[in-house]
């Protein structure tokens, strides 16, 4: 008798432990309130249908298969995340945007593109290592040729002329980072996170972000405040070329926080698929 | 006897071959989509509208073209999801009206930034009355993947746009679900109307310069 109770307790403990790591399990065990509607015979009569034949990448979905990154990525820290989302929003409109605007007033677009190309070229180690870690050897090769060509003939990467040279065979993008590599290896997002200044992320992508910094040459600039200043400058320069994009995305949103969470997670998912 | 069998076989074969063709209607989904996109580009390229004073006319023409190819009813229904069944007929109409208004407002602003980008049609998937079209917008220095989901009613209509992996319908479903979880359909409809008003009055961006200037001038 005692042993059965022991087994039961062990089973419950195991289930609780598992559901902690795989939130999907708990949801599967708990019948969703929508299930009654699914069997409702009047659904077709009402002309209501929401099942898709293809997923967002155009892949044919099997029966009952609905793999949704949003359902897989819980947001238990929503209050905390919403706070930082608001914080970043204010920071953008009242600090970064005016600075980037002033900067773009002083410096014409052309030199700003050179600066952008230079910093992009500098991040070549991040792309190369992550291409290799994902087994994308052709892309790794393409990134290497681009880096060599842009660094030598492109004046230390100021010009990105190699971007216009088509590879001889179709080559998947080499824009890889460690977050994507971890995703390819099968790591889930964990939970959704919003960081101050950095913005939307997840546990997996945060780990990736920190890991990638080891391959970013700017990290090794000393003293540390010079490194921070260079990073800040490259970000402001990048922003000056992308002014209005954030506003465009935010403009149509009823709940901007939810809209950006959805967009971030789905866009990352697409990058991991590629 | 064998000749007769061959004849029947050929007859059956030709009927089978002929069948799927009328099912697709006069024009396939990709051709319909291309027609719509080309019409929009033609309006944007039209030198007649270079004149700023004819902007309202241009916007009206764009809006009309979009509504010919976009099924806002289907789009709204899918963006709301299951709660749609609990909406009254009036709430459904109100939501479709408010939501299409919002989408037109935001998207017209975005198409206005069109700068001679090219659209490449990559793949057309059709199954029954549904279709999935993959396209690529090729700009000067980058490529943006834009896919379309279409449904066939009287003709093929677009009901979802997927830009860089982000589905329009699903993005709004995520937002609507949160609002409908705690509020009624009327709350949702009101939130959408408020947003349209915000855009009309230029409140979407708190630091928009011309708004400040316009206020200064009026005071």
Among residues B152, B123, B120, the alpha carbon closest in space to that of B24 is found at B152
Please state, in angstroms and as integers, the Cα–Cα distance from residue A198 to each residue in A5, A85, A175, A202, following that order: 50, 10, 19, 11
Do residue A262 and residue B103 have CB atoms under 8 angstroms apart? no
Interhelix angle B89-111/B72-80, nearest 10 degrees: 110
Q: Is the pLDDT of residue A111 over 70?
A: yes
Distance CA A213, CA A37 (A): 49
Nearest residue to B160 via CA among B152, B148, B177: B148
Q: How far apart are CA B201 and CA B215, in angstroms?
A: 12
Q: What is the pLDDT of residue A171?
A: 75
Q: What residues in B contact A43, CB-CB < 8 Å?
A: 85
Do the beta carbons of residue B99 and residue B72 sit within 8 Å? yes
Q: What is residue A30's predicted lDDT score, i.e. its pLDDT?
A: 43
Residues of A in contact with B149 (CB under 8 A): 52, 54
Asked if A269's CB is within 8 angstroms of B176's CB, the reply is no
Q: What tens digit of pLDDT does each residue of B121-171 get? A: 999 999 989 999 999 998 877 888 999 999 998 899 999 999 999 999 999
What's the pLDDT band for A5 if we cut at 50, 70, 90?
A: low
A264 to chain B, closest Cα gap in Å: 8
- Please state the φ and ψ torsions of residue B123, each to the nearest 5 degrees: -155, 145
Q: Determine the residue of chain B that is closest to A57 in CA distance.
A: B165
Predicted confidence band of residue A28 (pLDDT cuts 50, 70, 90) = very low
Contacts of B91 in chain A (CB under 8 A): none
B180 Cβ contact partners less than 8 Å away, ≥ 6 residues apart: B80, B83, B188
**Which B residues, 74 through 103, put their C-beta within 8 Å of a C-beta on chain A?**
77-78, 81-82, 84-85, 102-103
Q: How far apart are the C-alpha atoms of A123 and A230, rounded to whole Å?
A: 13
B127 touches chain A (CB under 8 A): yes
Q: How far is B27 from chain A (nearest CA, A)?
A: 21
Domains delineated in chain B: 3-200 (3.10.450.710)
CA dihedral B20, B23, B28, B32 (to 10 degrees): 180
Side-chain-side CA neighbours of B176 within 13 Å: the count stands at 24
Contact assessment for residue A236 and residue A103, using Cβ atoms and an 8 Å cutoff:
yes
pLDDT digit string (tens) for A126-181? 999 999 999 999 999 989 988 988 888 878 778 777 776 776 777 777 889 999 99
Measure the CA–CA gap between A50 and B79, rounded to whole angstroms. Answer: 9
Alpha-carbon distance A48 to A51, whole Å? 10
* Chain B interface disruption, residue of A251, A256, A269, A270, most B CBs within 10 A: A251
For B23, half-sphere exposure in the C-beta direction (CA atoms, 13 angstrom radius) is: 11
Phi-psi category of B206—alpha, beta or left, where left has phi over 0 and alpha has psi -120 to 50? alpha
Q: Nearest-CA neighbor of A263 among B81, B180, B148, B168?
A: B168
pLDDT in tens, B64-113: 999 899 999 999 999 999 899 999 999 999 999 999 999 988 888 777 77
Q: Which residues of A touch B175 (CB under 8 A)?
A: 253-255, 258-259, 262
Residue A33 has pLDDT above 80, yes or no: no
Model pTM? 0.80
Distance CA A50, CA A54 (A): 12
Token pair of A211, please?
A: 């890991």
Distance from CA of B104 to the nearest CA of A (A): 10
Contact B93, B116 (CB under 8 A): no
Give the pLDDT score at A24.
42
């Amino acid at each position: 008798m005692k042993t059965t109770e022991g087994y039961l307790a062990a089973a419950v403990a195991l289930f609780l432990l598992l559901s902690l790591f795989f939130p999907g399990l708990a949801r599967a065990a708990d019948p969703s309130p929508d299930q009654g509607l699914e069997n409702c015979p009047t659904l077709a009569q009402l002309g209501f249908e929401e099942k898709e034949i293809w997923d967002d990448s155009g892949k044919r979905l099997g029966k009952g298969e609905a793999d949704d990154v949003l359902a897989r990525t819980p947001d238990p820290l929503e209050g905390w995340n919403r706070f930082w989302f608001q914080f970043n929003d204010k920071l953008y409109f009242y600090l970064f945007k005016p600075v980037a605007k002033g900067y773009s007033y002083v410096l014409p677009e052309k030199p700003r593109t050179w600066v952008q190309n230079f910093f992009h070229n500098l991040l070549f180690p991040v792309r190369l290592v992550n291409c290799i870690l994902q087994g994308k050897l052709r892309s790794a090769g393409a990134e290497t040729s681009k880096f060599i060509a842009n660094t030598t003939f492109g004046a230390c990467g100021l010009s990105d002329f190699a971007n216009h040279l088509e590879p001889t065979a179709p080559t998947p993008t080499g824009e890889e980072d460690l977050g994507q590599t971890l995703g390819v290896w099968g790591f889930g997002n964990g939970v959704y996170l919003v960081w101050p200044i950095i913005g939307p992320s997840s546990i997996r992508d945060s780990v990736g972000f920190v890991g990638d910094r080891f391959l970013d040459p700017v990290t090794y600039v000393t003293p540390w405040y010079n490194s921070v200043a260079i990073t800040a400058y490259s970000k402001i320069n990048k922003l000056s070329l992308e002014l209005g994009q954030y506003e465009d995305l935010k403009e149509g949103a009823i709940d901007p926080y939810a809209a950006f969470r959805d967009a971030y997670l789905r866009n990352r998912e697409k990058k991991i698929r590629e | 006897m064998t000749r007769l069998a061959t004849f029947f076989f050929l007859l059956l074969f030709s009927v089978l071959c002929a069948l799927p063709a009328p099912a697709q209607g006069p024009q396939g989904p990709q051709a319909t989509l291309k027609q719509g996109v080309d019409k929009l580009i033609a309006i944007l390229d039209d030198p007649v509208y270079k004149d700023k004073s004819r902007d309202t006319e241009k916007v009206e023409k764009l809006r009309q073209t979009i509504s010919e190819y976009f099924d806002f009813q289907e789009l709204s229904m899918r963006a709301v999801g299951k709660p749609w069944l609990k909406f009254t007929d009036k709430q459904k109409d109100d939501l479709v009206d408010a939501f299409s208004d919002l989408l037109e407002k935001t998207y017209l602003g975005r198409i206005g930034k069109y700068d001679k980008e090219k659209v490449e049609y990559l793949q057309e998937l059709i199954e029954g009355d549904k279709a999935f079209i993959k396209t690529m917008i090729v700009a000067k220095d980058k490529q943006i993947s834009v896919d379309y989901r279409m449904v066939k009613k009287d003709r093929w209509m677009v009901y979802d746009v997927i830009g860089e992996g982000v589905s329009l319908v699903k993005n709004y479903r995520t937002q609507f679900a949160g609002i409908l979880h705690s509020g009624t359909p009327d709350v949702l409809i009101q939130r959408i109307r408020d947003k349209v008003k915000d855009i009309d009055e230029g409140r979407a961006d708190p630091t928009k310069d011309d708004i400040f200037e316009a206020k200064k001038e009026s005071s």
